[in-house]
Chains A and B, each alone.
Chain A
């Protein structure tokens, strides 16, 4: 599995297709972390929301770096069908974790430190956002959708529902809570992470089943 992750990261790195989403994310952070006296949670809400888009974008990009024929070759070496998407997921998750660390460290530097609770909640929400973004990106990627136009439409629709619709209990409730006047407790972040894990699980199973049927 380590070999598969290394391969995915190498492909992504050489392709440089990671640059647009990563630069977008860093640009958001640069505009976000400017006021040392502002509270941390609302800034984490923006950062986590953007992380969702980043994770989705990176997932689609990481799949698209390989052509379908090359994916078959990789599958022939991996031998187990689940190892190919698993390598993609873990590689994207590692990128997201690294950028989460950048975001949290950046916020702490600008604010000259912060409450441990706020940072913990921020970390949990970023992780939930990354998982939710990957969960949207996987079924929208070339694993299931061949045409880029449909991929974009499906991904944008999925992200809008995930982030904007209040009764989808994954990200919207926690992002709104973080943006509120009163700082939320860690409970809602844990619930958000649980919701993201469930969403990711559903997405994972659906992609594995449907992708094998397509081949």
Chain B
């Protein structure tokens, strides 16, 4: 399902990073720096995961990338359109979720608000979209937070602990939104303290600790790499439901297509599994499973 106002900006975006931190230091008042001389770039079409313990500076790093915080030293290069979800989405308003999303869409310059309705429908809010946000459960409020972040197809999607409070069904929607955002060429940066979760989703992982960042190589980061870090040689099994599956057989990396009841099963070369998933999601398919064949 296309996102709101789907504009495929990536073709006209000439630089190799959507936003880059160059030697950025951040301190609050006279406190010691939270981050020191950080160099980090978010590339188009990349999902960058940030892991780290509580208080390691993950949220500060995300706010700097999103342009919502100013560095004490160093530079933030690039000013993309940003979708931002804070670690605790504050849903204490009497505004309904739908009204809030419509306001945010208008503030962001969107004139066609039909995409808001599609997002609301997709997120399947318990209690309905016209329930005041303050009455929503934590998970449902987080869905509203997620929806506002992807409004208008931002060039950079910044998510702080986005899985927090979401139920299992909503995890799937979040994964889809992230994958779709990457598929249209935008950069996704997210933080979470759970390594396994970050490893499952991200293309690249960095760890924040003691005010600095270091690259992390995590096993099982992409389909095709097992828990021990061995590269799988067999195909990846991708199970899809719904959507436009016609023509998927001709997509690069798809070895064969089978039908299993209402589920379409693809056998995909490991190196192409991410790209095939993105294409399937873009065609409206729902991912039911991804595992080694």
**In the complex, which residues of chain A have a beta carbon less than 8 angstroms from the beta carbon of B67?**
76
**In the complex, which residues of chain B have a beta carbon less than 8 angstroms from the beta carbon of A10?**
95, 99, 103
Give which listed residue, B70, B82, B93, B94, contacts A76 with CB less than 8 A. B82
Interface pair B103/A76, CB less than 8 Å apart: no
Nearest A residue (CB) for B99? A10
**In the complex, which residues of chain B have a beta carbon less than 8 angstroms from the beta carbon of A147?**
none
A14 vs B83: C-alpha distance in the bound complex, in angstroms? 25
Q: How many A-B residue pairs have CB under 8 A?
A: 66
Interface pair A76/B90, CB less than 8 Å apart: no
- Most chain-B Cβ atoms within 10 A of its Cβ — which of A14, A69, A77? A77
List CB contacts (< 8 Å) of A1-17 with chain B: 3-4, 6-7, 10-11, 14-15
- Interchain nearest-CB distance for A144 vs B (Å): 14
- A192-215: CB near B (< 8 Å → 1, else 0) gives 000000000000000000001101
Asked whether any CB of chain B lies closer than 8 Å to the CB of A72, the reply is yes
Nearest A residue (CB) for B148? A73
Asked whether any CB of chain B lies closer than 8 Å to the CB of A78, the reply is yes
Interface pair B90/A11, CB less than 8 Å apart: no
- Take A69-B88, A212-B70 as given contacts and tell me if A77 and B104 are in contact as well, using a CB distance cutoff of 8 Å: yes
- B74-93: CB near A (< 8 Å → 1, else 0) gives 00000001111110111011
- Take A75-B68, A215-B68 as given contacts and tell me if A3 and B90 are in contact as well, using a CB distance cutoff of 8 Å: no
A212 vs B95: C-alpha distance in the bound complex, in angstroms? 27
Interface pair A74/B99, CB less than 8 Å apart: no
- Interchain nearest-CB distance for B214 vs A (Å): 26
Asked whether any CB of chain A lies closer than 8 Å to the CB of B5, the reply is no
**In the complex, which residues of chain B have a beta carbon less than 8 angstroms from the beta carbon of A7?**
103-104, 106-107
**In the complex, which residues of chain B have a beta carbon less than 8 angstroms from the beta carbon of A70?**
90, 93
A10 vs B108: C-alpha distance in the bound complex, in angstroms? 17
Interface pair A77/B70, CB less than 8 Å apart: no
* Residues on A facing B (Cβ under 8 Å): 3-4, 6-7, 10-11, 14-15, 65-67, 69-70, 72-79, 212-213, 215
* Residues on B facing A (Cβ under 8 Å): 63, 66-70, 81-86, 88-90, 92-95, 99, 103-104, 106-108, 132, 145, 148, 151
